[in-house]
Structure 1
Amino acid sequence: MAKRYKTGDTCEATGRYAFDGYSDGRGGPPVTAEERIIPLSRGETFPPVRSQNRGAFWTLV
C-alpha cells in the first residue's frame, strides 16, 4: 500500500500526488478535476481540498 500523506504534512519528494479520500473519513462530493492530481515540490505543505474546504489524504502517483 502506498504511503498516505495528510493535509498539513510536509512533502518529502517532488512529484504528482493523487487525492485519496477526505481525512475526516466521511464521503462527500467528488473533488474537482484540477484537485484529483496535484503537483508538489519537496518541502511544500499538502493542501486541503479547497473546493470543499476539507482536509484530504494524498498518495504519490
Structure 2
Amino acid sequence: MANLGDRFKTGDSCVASGSYVFDGYTSEPSTPQPTQEERVIPLERGRVFPPIRSTNRGAYWKLQRLQ
C-alpha cells in the first residue's frame, strides 16, 4: 500500500490507484518543464508510470490523492 507523498518513477508499477503529481525528471537537466496537462495524472493500480511525452523523458511521480 502506498502513502500520500510516496514517490515513484517512470517504469515503476503503480501500487495504489490515485492522483499523481510530477516531481522532477529522473535525469538532468530540470528543464523544459512538462505541459500543464502532464503535471497531474490519474493512474490505476497495476499500470506503469509513464514518461513525460512532451519531452520524452523519465519522471518522478508523487502520490497526492488516493482513489
CA apart distance, 1:26? 2.2
Distance in 2 between the 1:46 and 1:4 partners? 11
RMSD value, Cα = 1.4
What code does the residue aligned with 2:8 have?
A: Y
Tell me which of 31, 34, 38 is aligned to 1:28: 31
CA apart distance, 1:21? 0.1
What code does the residue aligned with 2:14 have?
A: C
- Unmatched runs of 5 consecutive residues or more in structure 1: none
Distance in 2 between the 1:6 and 1:25 partners? 14
- Unmatched runs of 5 consecutive residues or more in structure 2: none
CA apart distance, 1:4? 1.0
Distance in 1 between the 2:20 and 2:54 partners? 17
How many residue pairs get aligned? The number is: 61
Greater Rg over alpha carbons, structure:
2
TM-score, normalized by length of structure 2?
0.85
| 1:48 counterpart residue number | 51
Distance in 1 between the 2:15 and 2:63 partners? 10
Stretches of 4+ aligned residues off by more than 2 angstroms = none
| 1:12 counterpart residue number | 15
